Amino acid sequence: MTTAFQLLSEHASFGGTQRFYQHDSREIGLAMRFSVYLPPAACGPNAGQVPALIYLAGLTCNEETFMVKAGAQRLAAELGLALIAPDTSPRGAKVEGEDASWDFGVGAGFYLDATEAPWSAHWRMESYLMHELLPSIGEQLPIDTRRLGLFGHSMGGHGALTLALRHPGRFRSLSALAPICAPTQCPWGEKAFNGYLGSDRSTWLAHDATALMQSQTAAPFPAGILLDQGLADSFLAEQLHPHLFEAACNAVGQPLTLRRHAGYDHGYYFIQTFVGDHLAHHAAALKASA
């Protein structure tokens, strides 16, 4: 049963509208928030359904961060793309350590379904996104859920890569900015996965983008995946490992454009600089599939 969205606020933006919503989530068992930018083509008396690009944010972020900081609405309006940004994590479960700013440990959503107590009761971000939020958006908003692209940053980049590979055919296009590419091989991922999934490391591989790509028998995104990575990113060497994902793509014949940028760090100035290329990448794929 779909829960009705509650509109919290609405703001005119580049001929379209920026909205922030809340709803009671059956998968999470708590109230969840998300944001939507609807371009002009989805607004007004002649509005129609538009393709959408889902953005998954990183640690310390929420449903507002991308919409406020990335500066993506102008180009989304021009391209006729809706932008959707869910919150990163459950809020208010009163579980010790749930604060998503807590040193990349458990508490941050990581876009998976936890199997270990106490996290398994509410930390069901994969089921929330795939089985609740996206279908509900198609029912309640002028979004064509047959034409969805997926991208994200950092922890959200991990989420974008893994969800796209775990749900073949659900997304028409894929990209990421400074993603955690091999969480089973970095301290952030090891800490979170041990808390959420338990100590059996074999279960972790189902949520590791590099391992998932290695298991492919054909290119899941023949038109290509786009990744951007700043070379001044302080997390690059120890945590992100894009070279491992690159090698996995090469091994299975998945076209990948991995762009490495001197001088750019891990923050939203980096995202602002390259987000336009990501919107264009997705728009080309989503319009081609119309």
Question: Do residues 77 and 86 make contact, with C-beta atoms less than 8 angstroms apart?
Answer: no
Residues 6+ apart with CB under 8 A from 116: 195, 196, 197, 198
In the set 153, 228, 233, 281, the catalytic residue is: 233
Residue 139: both structure tokens together:
């029912």
Q: State pLDDT tens for residues 162-197.
A: 999 999 999 999 999 999 999 999 999 999 999 999
Per the confidence metrics, is the pTM higher than 0.95? yes
What single-letter amino acid sits at 98?
A: E
Q: Is 154 a catalytic residue?
A: yes
Which CA distances in Å does 59 have to 87, 104, 161, 201, 227? 10, 7, 16, 23, 19
In the set 266, 278, 281, 282, the catalytic residue is: 266
In the set 35, 154, 173, 175, the catalytic residue is: 154
Distance CA 127, CA 57 (A): 17
99 band by pLDDT with thresholds 50, 70 and 90: low
Q: Is 266 a catalytic residue?
A: yes
Q: State pLDDT tens for residues 222-273.
A: 999 999 999 999 999 999 999 999 999 999 999 999 999 999 999 999 999 9
Residue 191: both structure tokens together:
């800490």
253, containing H or E segment: none
Strands 82-86 and 50-56: parallel
Q: How far apart are the first and last CA of the chain?
A: 28
Distance CA 105, CA 149 (A): 28
Q: Classify 129 as helix, strand or coil.
A: helix
pLDDT score of 60 more than 70: yes
What single-letter amino acid sits at 48?
A: G
pLDDT score of 94 more than 90: no
Please count the residues of the chain. Answer: 290
Residue 107 pLDDT: 78
Burial grade of 188 (CB within 10 A; 0-12, 13-18, 19 or more): buried
Distance CA 210, CA 137 (A): 30
Q: Is 233 a catalytic residue?
A: yes
